[in-house]
A = this chain, B = another copy of it.
């Protein structure tokens, strides 16, 4: 295997906002040349696949300013400082949808945009849900909806569900429900 690692020569925090923490690093390439790497430091996030039974999941609709669009997404959120990612999904699920889950299973973690952020997003399966009432942020406009996994898969291929964590969550949920080995592997009983 080739030598791949790029070594940090210098690192500058070019902008630190409320959300974005932007760095410009100078790196030493394996070739001996130098290059510039621009990226965002991110605390990590977690997304939840809330399974209500009968092949249905809970989704949220919300306006996403960067893309100027209302998107259909699985509930998710950034990890607060010191918080465990399972606590993040537990909290976000209640805040955004009003549902509490008795059981969470971590399925996998992924990098949404490996080219310019270190964000890692972990995907949780949630089941045994009960409605206890949402706790909406007054500045967040969120609409809760149930949808079958098969309809969500159809909406992915129709280009209507476009959020990466939601596409990944739905395709995994669809696979999981039809695959006894995968259920056993993750200790999921329905």
A residues apposed to B, CB below 8 Å: 1-6, 14-15, 17-20, 22, 24-25, 27, 29-31, 33, 35-40, 61-68, 70-71, 73, 107-120, 138-139, 141, 143, 156-157, 159, 162-165, 167-168, 171-172, 175, 182, 185
Contact = CB atoms under 8 A, between A and B. Distances in A.
Nearest to A34: B139
A114 B73 contact: yes
Contacts of A71: 111, 114
Given A24-B17, A65-B25, A65-B39, A185 B157 contact: yes
B20 A164 contact: no
A61 B114 CA distance: 12
B164 A175 contact: no
A101 B29 CA distance: 31
A139 to B, nearest CB: 6
Given A67-B118, A116-B19, A110 B167 contact: yes
A111 to B, nearest CB: 5
Contacts of A117: 66, 113
23 contacts: A2-B141, A2-B143, A4-B61, A17-B24, A19-B38, A20-B38, A20-B39, A29-B139, A30-B141, A64-B111, A66-B115, A66-B117, A67-B111, A108-B156, A110-B163, A110-B167, A111-B164, A112-B113, A112-B164, A113-B164, A164-B164, A171-B171, A171-B175
Contacts of A39: 20, 65-66
Contacts of A67: 111, 114, 118, 120
